Amino acid sequence: MIQWSLRGRVILVCALSFAGGATVMAFGRSLFRDWWLSVFRNYALCTYVNGIDTTSTQCDPWTGTSQWLVGAGLLVGAVLLFWLFRLVARGIVRPITAMTDIVWQLGPQNLGQRIRYRGPRDEVRELADALDEMLNRVATGYEGQRRFASNASHELRTPLAVQRTLVEVAMVTGEQDMSRLAAQLLAVNERNERLIEGLLVLAESDRGLPGTEPVRFDTLVGEVLDKFAEQAEKNQVTLHRGMVARTVSGDPVLLDRMVSNLVHNAIKYNVPGGAIEVVVAAEPTLSIHNTGQQVPAETVPALWEPFRRLTAERTNQRDGAGLGMSIVRSIVTAHNGTVSAAPGDHGGLKVTVKLP
């Protein structure tokens, strides 16, 4: 069975309409003319052929019965023609109507439903495929937001419970222990502030870039390394840098945050006497490799999820909220880049960032 594309059907309808109109004009023009003159001018035209000359003269009008019959036939023909065109138009837009019905049924409860149009590869098929791809992105984003909200609520519930416990203890404790409890409460509050700040940065990066500008990426990375030099020295970690001139288009604030998170993690999850190698090149744009404990390959994909760390301990981690790598991925994605991670050859983790 031949499947006509939308464009082919429209061309066919236009061609048939033109052919039908030409046929009606050729065979029905004189009939309509005579009916019109007979009804509204009270005469008809009589044509006489004399050799090669054709002459027309006025004749007596048609009878009333003839006028009514021809008039009714013309009316019925017009109605049938309108109905035929309406039927053809409905057939042309039927695939779009079916897609509209499916889209109206979509909701949070059935985001897995798809159009899956199997017609000819035409404009309608392209529209259906684009809608299916959009629904895939919507479902992925919705599931990510749901998982993120669940993890965020879990992370916030724990420190809030700790704060409540500290306050309850402070209410029944002597003054000599108040300073210690206040210090613990302050540490918990500082962690909550970092968590909220991380959530805000992650939300902003997920929204995309409001604007871009040329950024000297090698200069930016150098400034970030200078900022973390004291922390690296305190942790007995050596910073090695190798950079070439590299300019990218993006948001300097978000790029600074992305590099800072990677360098901070490379220092944090290192060992005394360890090292960090930071390379800026044409391809890949950034590569950061640190020494440290061996990272199992199966745990690397989970590091990009919010509130995930290399260690299973969550509540005792006061330096960060487990959002660093998620923020890195969101910022790189907002810049139309890619980021990947793999276990280092001699321990630690190697992160590679590619920016256009």
Average pLDDT over residues 266-276: 91
Q: Indicate if 135 and 272 belong to the same structural domain.
A: no
Among the listed residues 310, 218, 325, 203, the one whose alpha carbon sits nearest the alpha carbon of residue 264: 325
Tokens of 290: 């640190």
Residue 274 located in a structural domain:
yes
Q: Indicate if 224 and 288 belong to the same structural domain.
A: yes
The model's confidence at residue 1, banded by pLDDT at 50, 70 and 90, is very low
Residue 43 located in a structural domain:
yes
Q: What is the DSSP code string of 216-249?
A: EHHHHHHHHHHHTHHHHHHTT-EEEEEE---EEE
pLDDT of residue 56: 73
Question: How far apart are the C-alpha atoms of 130 and 195, rounded to whole Å?
Answer: 37
Question: How far apart are the C-alpha atoms of 290 and 275, rounded to whole Å?
Answer: 6
Question: How far apart are the C-alpha atoms of 162 and 136, rounded to whole Å?
Answer: 40
Non-local (6+) Cβ contacts of 297 within 8 A are 342, 343
Q: Indicate if 19 and 146 belong to the same structural domain.
A: no
Q: Residue 203 sits in which domain range?
A: 111-207
Q: Does pLDDT of 314 surpass 60?
A: no
Q: Indicate if 229 and 188 belong to the same structural domain.
A: no
Q: Indicate if 188 and 282 belong to the same structural domain.
A: no
Q: Indicate if 151 and 80 belong to the same structural domain.
A: no
Residue 1 located in a structural domain:
no
User: Higher pLDDT residue, 200 or 11?
Assistant: 11
Last residue of a domain, one of 54, 84, 105: 105
Cis peptide upstream of residue 284 (ω within 30 degrees of 0): yes
Residue 265 located in a structural domain:
yes
CATH at residue 239? 3.30.565.10
Tokens of 354: 């590619």
Residue 327 located in a structural domain:
yes
Q: Indicate if 219 and 311 belong to the same structural domain.
A: yes
Counted residue by residue, the chain has a size of 356
Query: pLDDT per residue over 145-186, tens digit each?
Result: 666 666 666 666 666 677 777 677 766 666 666 767 677 777
pTM of the predicted protein model: 0.52
The model's confidence at residue 316, banded by pLDDT at 50, 70 and 90, is very low
How many domains, the chain?
A: 3
The model's confidence at residue 313, banded by pLDDT at 50, 70 and 90, is very low
Residue 155 located in a structural domain:
yes
Cβ contact 343:296 at 8 Å: yes
Angle at 230 between CA 243 and CA 273, to 5 degrees: 80
Average pLDDT over residues 206-219: 80
Q: Indicate if 169 and 240 belong to the same structural domain.
A: no
The model's confidence at residue 318, banded by pLDDT at 50, 70 and 90, is very low
pLDDT of residue 320: 53
Last residue of a domain, one of 179, 207, 235: 207
Q: Indicate if 150 and 265 belong to the same structural domain.
A: no
Residue type, 172: V
Q: Indicate if 189 and 217 belong to the same structural domain.
A: no
Name the one residue in this structure whose structure tokens are 């590091």.
303
Q: Indicate if 15 and 139 belong to the same structural domain.
A: no
Cβ contact 257:188 at 8 Å: no
The model's confidence at residue 194, banded by pLDDT at 50, 70 and 90, is low
Among the listed residues 221, 241, 215, 255, the one whose alpha carbon sits nearest the alpha carbon of residue 337: 255
The model's confidence at residue 279, banded by pLDDT at 50, 70 and 90, is very high
Cβ contact 340:301 at 8 Å: no
Residue 18 located in a structural domain:
yes
pLDDT of residue 59: 81
Q: Indicate if 60 and 10 belong to the same structural domain.
A: yes
Average pLDDT over residues 84-104: 77
Last residue of a domain, one of 105, 136, 151: 105
Query: pLDDT per residue over 30-70, tens digit each?
Result: 788 888 888 888 887 777 666 666 667 778 787 888 888 88
Question: How far apart are the C-alpha atoms of 262 and 209, rounded to whole Å?
Answer: 20
